[in-house]
Amino acid sequence: MSWTITPAHIDGLARGAAVLGTGGGGDPYIGALLARQALTSGDVTVVGLDEVPDDALVLFVAMMGAPTVMVEKLPSLAEVIEPVKALSVHLGRPVTHIACAEVGGVNSTIPIAAAAALGLPLVDADGMGRAFPELQMVLPTLYGVTASPLAFSDEKGNTGVLQTADNSWTERIARVACVEMGCSVMISGFSMSGSAARESLVAGSLSRCIEIGQRIATAREEKSDPVDAVVRLLGGRELFDGKVVDVHRATTTGFARGRARIDGDADRSLTLQFQNEHLVAEADGTVLATTPDLIMVLDGESGEPITTEGLRYGQRVRVIAAPADERWHSDAALAMVGPGYFGYDMAAHRFDGSISTGTVSAGATA
Amino acid sequence: MSWTITPAHIDGLARGAAVLGTGGGGDPYIGALLARQALTSGDVTVVGLDEVPDDALVLFVAMMGAPTVMVEKLPSLAEVIEPVKALSVHLGRPVTHIACAEVGGVNSTIPIAAAAALGLPLVDADGMGRAFPELQMVLPTLYGVTASPLAFSDEKGNTGVLQTADNSWTERIARVACVEMGCSVMISGFSMSGSAARESLVAGSLSRCIEIGQRIATAREEKSDPVDAVVRLLGGRELFDGKVVDVHRATTTGFARGRARIDGDADRSLTLQFQNEHLVAEADGTVLATTPDLIMVLDGESGEPITTEGLRYGQRVRVIAAPADERWHSDAALAMVGPGYFGYDMAAHRFDGSISTGTVSAGATA
């Protein structure tokens, strides 16, 4: 069923996306600003994955770079659509649908801006069901969809189109170009047919973000607990309640990397490790949750999602976890986004306390 | 007048190109190997600049990267022509002529290989009349020819096409991609019409290289002095005669940077500073020659050109200098390739002992 995104949806959508963005995916304030600006030039029709024709040409549109830089470099609409235009010329045929690569404060709203500016429908889906820091880390990679041709553009008038040996090479080359171009560029790629999109994307992401945003708003109005509302909606659990007492953060090789310590009652302490997104949560020597499951930090009272670059000393926060799309727990997926890939010497711990066995079947070509 | 390059030309051409390459532009042995291999698949016709039709589509083909890496990563013919193919698709029309971006052991011979493999004529010209370390450092930049679209390819199957804000941005983005891809890639760009090529290139470069190579060979046969033969042919002068006693070299940010000390008679000492190419020659506190003029190191007896990565302790060498194409001494050119650009706090010293005044008129759009 198709529906229309209006400016009234934007705040809720950006907030919900920042929750599922697990600390990354950009600042929801920036994302909302861009999307609202774009919607003044026309409505955006959102179509369900099941409505996308088999022969459609679906493209991801996203911002690539360090969130710490994104917040200071708001792209223009012209910049947002530049890589799509370059890719359409490169492919020699018109793009029919825009989709989100990931869920996040900026990367769920940038595609709205692109769809509005291009007059194209947006697919109610995304490539992860969460956010991850590297370009190849989308479910379509596990289904054999190539990131190439991938286009990138900056605000200075620089554009590039890459055709690479595999999706990890797309990430490597686009990342160094991104860093050189100022640590933030617009990208478009992963061109796929409607059938490939149906097979590999996570359905209903935008609707889900809006619903999360609405639950938070409703709970606030009703003076009930917004964090609890989010936990119940996501089928997750609350890991920790405490105060941020220490944050180490560095923007290196195009990523915002770091860790945060949160102190709770009775000398309990939680450590979060992140690379754009929260990747590992440990309390008192016990791993509570790891990538690929979702680890989210919310303001303890308002339920407002806090991004990794928004973490500050003294914040009262609650850390929650929820299950990732089950396909992220396959062997191939864990090799791509499990704790080991990010340099943490541990198995993938599911949010419910179990260890991921990696036996899920996830796509033919993984 | 057009002529045909045969395998018999290659050794002399590569040796002459390595002389004018002023220490950079790659190892002539590698370059000769590639060109000879390519010529087994067909002859290459060389045409003079005055024979290129106005509406021709001329492209540079070159190897980009650190010479220290190039010598260990010989490209295949498929790799050499990949960026030309990508660019031809991007431009939507067939390439008619191949030209050399610079003169150098590899970058004068790679275009021969490309022309042979593509069945295209090669222009007897190049973009510098010498070698320089960065992509924008060609005379066409001073005439408003854009490096973009510029294609780059590696041996792993990665290709990119850049469209940048200016030629310095092409260098910046291509350079970081090149470093990530292993410090050596094939590139093609600076697409220009026949009239633009005639206006901006240095005519007769390939013939000149062959002539230098022949003079060296003849002098060796006649037991006369090959170094003196080169000096006379180039209208230059000999700066120093001595033994290499110290070489500092580091491959950083995609370049081979360093300096060498050469000790001569009577406690005299010459210091060479280089970044892929020799850029400054100083003896006992006096600057003898600087970029953009040509500073060349030849084996003291055989006249064999020695590249910056070939410099070794104990070599008996003679350092010579010769005038660059006069257009390199304009204000705009000195801003691009003068000593100041490379971080040396000195005026451009001409090889004849005078200071470059930078008053030459060099192209309309500089």
pLDDT one-digit tens code per residue, B163-202: 999 999 999 999 999 999 998 899 999 999 999 999 999 9
In order of their start, the domains of chain A are 3-205 (3.40.1610.10), 221-337 (2.40.390.10)
Question: Which residues of chain B does A180 touch, with a Cβ-Cβ cutoff of 8 Å?
Answer: 172-173, 175-176
Say whether A158 and B169 touch across the interface (CB within 8 A): yes
Q: pLDDT of B17-63, one tens digit each?
A: 999 999 988 888 888 888 898 898 788 999 999 999 999 999 999 99
At residue B90 the predicted structure's pLDDT band, cuts being 50, 70 and 90, is very high
Q: Shortest CB distance from A162 goes to which of B160, B163, B176?
A: B160
| β-sheet bridge partners, residue A249 | A258
Q: pLDDT of A34-84, one tens digit each?
A: 889 889 878 899 999 999 999 999 999 999 987 666 667 778 888 899 999
Instruction: Find which of B87, B154, B156, B158 to mutate to test the A interface (most A CBs within 10 Å of its CB).
Output: B158
What residue in B sits closest to A169 (Cα-Cα)? Answer: B158
Nearest chain B CA: its distance from A70 CA (Å): 19
What residue in B sits closest to A164 (Cα-Cα)? Answer: B158
What mean pLDDT is predicted for residues B142-159?
Answer: 97
CA separation for the pair A131, A305 (Å, rounded): 14
Beta strands in chain A (DSSP E): 3-5, 44-47, 58-65, 97-100, 122-126, 150-153, 159-163, 184-192, 202-203, 237-252, 255-263, 269-275, 277-283, 286-290, 294-299, 316-322
What mean pLDDT is predicted for residues A98-106?
Answer: 94
Nearest chain A CA: its distance from B318 CA (Å): 40
Say whether A158 and B179 touch across the interface (CB within 8 A): no
Say whether A172 and B179 touch across the interface (CB within 8 A): no
Verify cis geometry, omega within 30 degrees of 0, for the bond prior to B83.
no
Q: What is the mean pLDDT of chain B?
A: 92
Say whether B156 and A169 touch across the interface (CB within 8 A): yes
Instruction: Find which of A135, A170, A176 to mutate to test the B interface (most B CBs within 10 Å of its CB).
Output: A176
What mean pLDDT is predicted for residues A257-282?
Answer: 94
Question: Which residues of chain B does A173 touch, with a Cβ-Cβ cutoff of 8 Å?
Answer: 158, 160, 177, 180-181
Question: Which residues of chain B does A158 touch, with a Cβ-Cβ cutoff of 8 Å?
Answer: 162-165, 169, 173
Q: Shortest CB distance from A158 goes to which of B161, B165, B181?
A: B165
CA separation for the pair B160, B167 (Å, rounded): 16
Q: Judge whether residue B286 has pLDDT over 60.
A: yes
Q: Shortest CB distance from B165 goes to which of A157, A169, A180?
A: A157
Question: Which residues of chain B does A175 touch, with a Cβ-Cβ cutoff of 8 Å?
Answer: 180
Nearest chain A CA: its distance from B178 CA (Å): 9
| DSSP string for residues in A32-66 | HHHHHHHHTT--EEEE-GGGS-TT--EEEEEEEE-
